[in-house]
Amino acid sequence: MTQHTQNHLHGVTLEAMLTELVAHYGWEGLAQRIDIRCFKADPSIKSSLTFLRKTAWAREKVEALYVGMRRAMK
């Protein structure tokens, strides 16, 4: 992870990131951008957090999408 990316994530919890992404894109939009089942089949913050905490590649995709969303909002 680059230093620039880390600065955008500093102090932001995975739950806060996911909550903001869902508010911005909705579950369907999130599932279109990151193809993982926990965003498609009966999605919830709790079940998604459980999966993302165990699955580094998926967590990295969520972090990258979050950083991209925040940059686009500036």
Q: For the domain that residue 28 is a member of, what is the CATH number?
A: 1.10.720.30
Rounded to two decimals, the pTM is 0.86
What pLDDT score does 73 carry?
A: 85
Within 10 A of 72 (CB to CB), how many other CB atoms are there?
Answer: 8
Question: Helix 56-73 to helix 45-54 angle, to the nearest 10 degrees?
Answer: 120
In a domain, 7, yes or no: no
Q: Residue 16: which residues within 8 A CB-CB, separation 6 or more? A: none
User: Is pLDDT above 60 for 3?
Assistant: no
Note the pLDDT tens digit of each residue in 17-32: 999 999 999 999 999 9
What pLDDT score does 10 carry?
A: 81
* Residue ranges making up the domain that contains 18: 12-73
